[in-house]
Structure 1
Amino acid sequence: MAGLGWPELLLIAVVIMVLFGSKKMPDAARSLGRSLRIFKSETKGLVNDDKDDKPGAAPAQPAAPQQLPSAQQEDGTTLNGVPVSQDQKNRAS
């Protein structure tokens, strides 16, 4: 099978644009960029973990636990900004 040249790649790109439309292409590119960023950070984390596992390396400090928001009602209709029904207010009391 012959290799793909510029004309073939251009034709494939035009077909993709027609199939997916101009509205979905920016969303697809954005999600692809986010996925690549996450992948890059995870691979850096794996490399850093390998360096920490070597003998003679200083032990890593554990991360401080994150504080969760309290479940107290801010007013009579919401709980942390989420609408609450009368039944839920009665159960929370």
Structure 2
Amino acid sequence: MIGNLKPLEIVLIIAVILLLFGAKKLPDMARSLGKSARILKSEAKAMKKDDEATAASETTQEQAAQQPIAPRTIQAAPGDVASSRPATETQRTTQS
């Protein structure tokens, strides 16, 4: 559609924009449009980097999943008697 515009039509569109918004507001509008375009561009780059980082971490996770996992030992803090019992054991309460 834009490729089919003749020079006279472009001048008419510019004249209508000038009448609607005024010559003083056009530079501010162009500046804010430029800022928006820069923000959009930077966000698109950030999303692309995020996707690349996610793909790399998925590859690393797949490689880690193929390696045998060593059992973990959880140690209680010194003086911690609550964690010295097995987790499945029910706690006894004193009833009067």
- Please give the TM-score of this superposition, normalised by the length of structure 2: 0.52
Q: What is the CA deviation profile of residues 7-44 of structure 1, one whole-angstrom value per residue up to 9, with x for unaligned ones?
A: 11111011111221111001101110111111011000
Whichever residue aligns with residue 27 of structure 2, its letter is P
Look up the match of 1:36: 37
Look up the match of 2:28: 27
Please tell me whether Structure 1 or Structure 2 has the larger radius of gyration of its CA atoms.
2
Alpha-carbon distance in 2 for matches of 1:26, 1:45:
29
Bigger fraction of residues in strand? 1
Alpha-carbon distance in 1 for matches of 2:27, 2:51:
36
Shift in Å at residue 47 of structure 1?
Answer: 0.5
Aligned-residue CA RMSD in angstroms? 1.8
Look up the match of 2:14: 13
- Please give the TM-score of this superposition, normalised by the length of structure 1: 0.54
Whichever residue aligns with residue 16 of structure 1, its letter is I
Identity percentage of aligned residues: 50
Look up the match of 2:54: 53
Whichever residue aligns with residue 54 of structure 2, its letter is D
Alpha-carbon distance in 2 for matches of 1:56, 1:4:
50
Shift in Å at residue 46 of structure 1?
Answer: 0.6
Look up the match of 2:64: none
Report runs of 4+ in structure 1 exceeding 4 Å deviation.
Answer: none
Whichever residue aligns with residue 52 of structure 2, its letter is K
Shift in Å at residue 4 of structure 1?
Answer: 2.1
